[in-house]
Amino acid sequence: MSYQLLTQKHPSLTYQSYSHSIENKQLFINYHYQLANGPLFQHQLIFPLPHPQPFINQSPTLINNLIFNLGLIELFSYWKLACSPEIIINCGSLNQDQLNYWHHLLLNGMGEFFYLNQIDFTSPNFVTFITNNQQTNTAIPAHKNHSHRLSALNLGGGKDSAVMLDFFSSSPETFINLILTPASPAASKMAQLHSVPTYQIQRQFDSQLIDLNQKNYLNGHVPFSASLAFINLLASIIYDFDYAVVGNEHSANEQTLNWLSQPINHQYSKSTNFEQRFREYSKKYLIDNVEYFSLIRPFSELKVAQIFSTLTPYFEIFKSCNRGQKTNSWCHQCPKCLFVFLILFPFIDEQILTTKIFNHHLFNDLSLLPILQKLIGQTDAKPFECIGTIIESQTAFHLSLQKYLNNNRALPPLLAAVKTRNLPPSPTLNSYAQTLLNSFYHPHFLPSWALSMLQSTYAKN
């Protein structure tokens, strides 16, 4: 069904209600969204409750406001079915500044979805958030049940999670782990390496989503990391932590492509812009004594790869392939697999990389040439994946070449097939490597204690 027909048939999506209850030592949160001339959706999140429960000591106003706002980001997954011109909010209050925030997040966070579905989202009336209640909202503090600093690490199972875990486990900091399911089994295996509490939060979509997708309703990418950010704030009053820590590099800021004169970034909700805006929104309207920040924001993907290359206990555990997430494997055919192989190759022994991490040598696979060309900027756009910048891929490609040439070895088929005349000269790429590995990028939002420890542990002068 065409986008135009869907918007006509379903002119609005209404955020009807939210509720929460405690059963069997779990917190159940339910949301209801109504698609005009369509189904009523129920969306659910389930949080395991610790004992004792800090949650019961919190202000009901704080709890309800956090749950309500979490429902706003979760509705994106249902709105995308028809891109209804109106999003009607019936169960909470938002002032104009908040409405502007959500409008900006939807347009920027859904950019890839708009591009792949060829939807022009640039008109002023493309989508409007509507609420009859525009009261002024202010953030309030969470009640703290502890006197020491406590951080929650968000584990996804990739190399970034491993680097965060290594940083915290090597420090005197107290931390817990959060895993959002369904997730890669790699995240759980990583958590098991450390004797700290780990909480798995369940996120369950209405089955009608799949039914409508099979009937040719719209589908595509939503800003998952934005949902994770709002889940973190609610988790902070359930698990009583002060800092929600994620692993998003400086590289996430690079756009994937430009379309309709707008930047489209697959990783928008991992970007510095999102992080800054989310932090400001949280401090102003939600909770003012919980910090959300990315620990590795000052680093490039290349730097993270170099750090990860020293973390051998994680080699056989971590997984970054989206296709192989459910089976806890690498598919060896997608842009994410090739990028991870490319970015690690300069730093990890070839035998280990092709046996302990991957099960064969990706540079021997000529079918990956079109993907490699996209990674290193020889096509119009990067792949829609959580990968590094074009310069980082070019630099990793250059370092991989040098690893062969310095040992007087013939290049493998994939590297030999690339036309290097379209790449920067060797001295420039050497300079890029030094910059990417030694730079401490700004801006970032690390608190002083995390910044000091990060600089002393990893950053080079």
pLDDT value for 207: 96
- Do 369 and 247 sit in the same domain of this protein? no
In this structure, are 42 and 115 located in the same domain?
Answer: yes
pLDDT score for 52:
74
Rounded mean pLDDT of 401-405? 95
Q: Per-residue pLDDT averaged across 419-441, rounded?
A: 93
In angstroms, the CA 294 to CA 304 distance is 13
Amino acid in the structure at residue 433: A
Three-class secondary structure assignment of the chain: CCHHHHHHHCCEEEEEEEEEEEECCEEEEEEEEEECCCCEEEEEEEEECCCCCHHHHCCHHHHHHHHHHHHHHHCHHHHCCCCCCEEEECCCCCCHHHHHHHHHHHHHHCHHHHHHCCCCCCCCCCCEEEECCCCCCCCECCCCCCCCCEEEEECCCCHHHHHHHHHHHCCCCEEEEEEEECCCHHHHHHHCCCCCCEEEEEEECCCHHHHHHCCCCCCCCCCHHHHHHHHHHHHHHHHCCCEEEECCCHHHHCCCEEECCEEECCCHHHCHHHHHHHHHHHHHHCECCCEEEECCCCCCHHHHHHHHCCCHHHCCCCCCCCCCCCCCCCCCCCHHHHHHHHHHCCCCCHHHHHHHHCCCCHHHCHHHHHHHHHHCCCCCCCCCCCCCCHHHHHHHHHHHHHHHHCCCCCCCHHHHCCCHHHCCCHHHHHHHHHHHHHCCCCCCCCCHHHHHHHHHHCCCC
Same-domain pairing of 189 and 166: yes
In a domain, 457, yes or no: no
Percent of the chain having pLDDT more than 90? 84
Tens-digit pLDDT profile for residues 290-304 = 999 999 999 999 999
Q: Report if residue 450 sits inside a domain.
A: no
* C-alpha atoms less than 13 angstroms from C-alpha of 267 in its C-beta half-sphere: 20
Residue 461 in any domain: the answer is no
Among 87, 98, 97, residue whose Cα is nearest residue 65:
98
Mean pLDDT of 419-448: 93
Residue 375 has pLDDT above 70, yes or no: yes
Same domain (yes/no): 306, 289: no
Residue 180 lies in a domain: yes
Residues 268, 393, single domain; the answer is no
Q: How confident is the model at residue 250 (pLDDT cuts 50, 70, 90)?
A: very high
- Does 448 map to a domain? no
Q: What is the mean pLDDT of residues 131-154?
A: 85
pLDDT class for 453, splitting at 50, 70, 90?
confident
Q: How confident is the model at residue 145 (pLDDT cuts 50, 70, 90)?
A: confident
Same domain, 282 and 395: no
State how many domains the chain has: 2
Give yes or no for residue 88 having a pLDDT over 70.
yes
**Residue-number span of the structural domain to which 199 is assigned:** 3-139+148-294
Q: Answer yes or no: is pLDDT of 56 > 80.
A: no
Among 101, 121, 42, smallest CA distance to 279 is for: 101
266 and 328 share one domain: no
Q: What is the mean predicted confidence (pLDDT) over 86-106?
A: 95
Residue 456 lies in a domain: no
Tokens found for residue 31: 């949301």
The whole-number pLDDT of residue 459 equals 56
What pLDDT score does 460 carry?
47
Q: 294, 315, 342: which is the final residue of a domain?
A: 294
Same structural domain for residues 420 and 276? no
**Contact (Cβ atoms closer than 8 angstroms) between residue 3 and residue 119:** yes
* Residue in the structure block whose two tokens are 């170099």: 306
Q: Are 248 and 377 in the same domain?
A: no
Query: Is residue 453, in this structure, part of any structural domain at all?
Result: no
> So what's the pLDDT on residue 184?
78
Question: What is the residue-averaged pLDDT of the chain?
Answer: 93
At 342, the amino acid letter reads L
Mean pLDDT in residue range 397-409: 95
Same domain, 50 and 118: yes
Q: Decide if 352 is inside a domain.
A: yes
Same domain as 318, residue 264? no
Residues 172 and 210 in one domain: yes
